[in-house]
Amino acid sequence: MPPSSGSPINYRLGSLYAIITACLYATQEPFSFPAARHLNILQFVCVTQTALLVSIPLLTARPASRRDLVALFRKPANYGYLAVIFAIGLCGLLLYNLGLSHAHPIIISAILNLSPFWAALVALVISRVPIPISPATFFGCFAGAFLGAMTVAWSQLGDAGKPTLGELADNFLHGSWVYAIPIPLCSALGGTLVGKWFGKYNESAAIAANFLFANVVLIPSCLAILYWRSELTFAQLPAMLLMVLGTILASSVGRVVYQISLTVTGGDNGFVTMFWNLVPALTALVALTLSRWIADEHFVIDPTFFLGSALIAASLVLFSLKSWRQPAARA
């Protein structure tokens, strides 16, 4: 359990929660990949939201979580906060679809790996949380982790799928990658606002409330449109069940652990999201495990993968040690 709001800042515990968050987030893409190949966008969104709806009883299993969930919805002002966070999340989803439509995934991946930079700025502006280490060390560690994450992502593309530098440069100049720039900002802003507006509630209850608010809007809308289009058919049941499991682990449990990591670090979003650079390497390992049963999953073992993983590990170890040595002056 995280410390109470009056407890000292604990970056060691925050590091542990941040690493657990990265492990949970790493299940999202491999578990969802088989379903994504067979479902259209509306079906994919509908199944995702249904998985989040199913996870609400898990999030509110503890009596304290259920009490806080009821208390949260009893306060009229919270509905406005929920609407703002829902709009931010929806904007991030739409921008992701627009950005990926005409831009190479490597460029999109590079932009999404800027999350720690945006998160540190959001935490500084919204919550007045300073960067826990010197700016030079922060950006140096982030640059190393970023290069490592991109190296891991590059290693998982087959030789036939790796674009040339010329193709990447042309895509960078003329692609739709600009739509992806605000996505990490949306993610960081949503997490910070949940902590700021719902900090007095249990983290599980706050996340469950956000899920329930989005479900009420998105699930009926998607079902109505799919029925109107005669697309209300879901034939890939095993793939869908795997996707539901991945969504519960990543978007539900992972989101709760993420909010707890923000709590124990006093809202230091830049520190927490730095550990998300572990996700590409962890995702590859999850894909390796699933590849034994799912032919579509693949894992390329080559020196590039281990080089990227080593860069990520070295950067995060240095970043953690430097942060732990800083006195926790805030409560």
d(CA 201, CA 75): 12
* pLDDT above 60 for 125: yes
Pair 22, 316: CB distance under 8 Å: no
d(CA 40, CA 46): 10
Pair 154, 304: CB distance under 8 Å: yes
Provide the percentage of residues in the chain whose pLDDT is more than 90.
14
> Is 329 inside a domain boundary?
no
Q: How wide is the angle at C-alpha 62 spanned by C-alphas 195 and 270, nearest 5°? A: 25
Q: Extract the tokens encoding 330.
A: 């805030």
Q: What is the pLDDT of residues 3-36, one digit of tens each?
A: 444 557 888 888 899 999 989 988 887 887 777 7
> Is 331 inside a domain boundary?
no
> Is 89 inside a domain boundary?
yes
> Is 6 inside a domain boundary?
no
Number of domains in the chain: 1
Q: How wide is the angle at C-alpha 111 spanned by C-alphas 107 and 115, nearest 5°? A: 155
Q: What is the pLDDT of residues 287-305, one digit of tens each?
A: 778 877 776 666 667 788 7
Pair 44, 36: CB distance under 8 Å: yes
| Spatial CB neighbours of 98, under 8 Å, sequence gap ≥ 6 | 176, 179
Q: Between these two residues, 280 and 204, which has the higher pLDDT value?
A: 204
Average pLDDT over residues 73-93: 90
Q: What is the pLDDT of residues 89-118, one digit of tens each?
A: 888 877 776 665 555 555 566 666 667 777
* pLDDT above 90 for 263: no
Q: What is the DSSP string of 152-171?
A: HHHHTS-TTTPPPHHHHHHH
Q: What are the CA-CA distances from residue 58 to residues 48, 54, 78, 248 (Å)?
A: 16, 8, 22, 9
Mean pLDDT of the chain: 79
Q: What are the CA-CA distances from residue 327 to residues 10, 178, 320 (Å)?
A: 10, 39, 13
> Is 3 inside a domain boundary?
no
Q: Between these two residues, 189 and 127, which has the higher pLDDT value?
A: 189
Domain that residue 98 falls in? 11-324
Q: What is the DSSP string of 203-224?
A: HHHHHHHHHHHHHHHHHHHHHH
> Is 5 inside a domain boundary?
no
The pLDDT of residue 325: 64
d(CA 269, CA 48): 25
The pLDDT of residue 80: 93
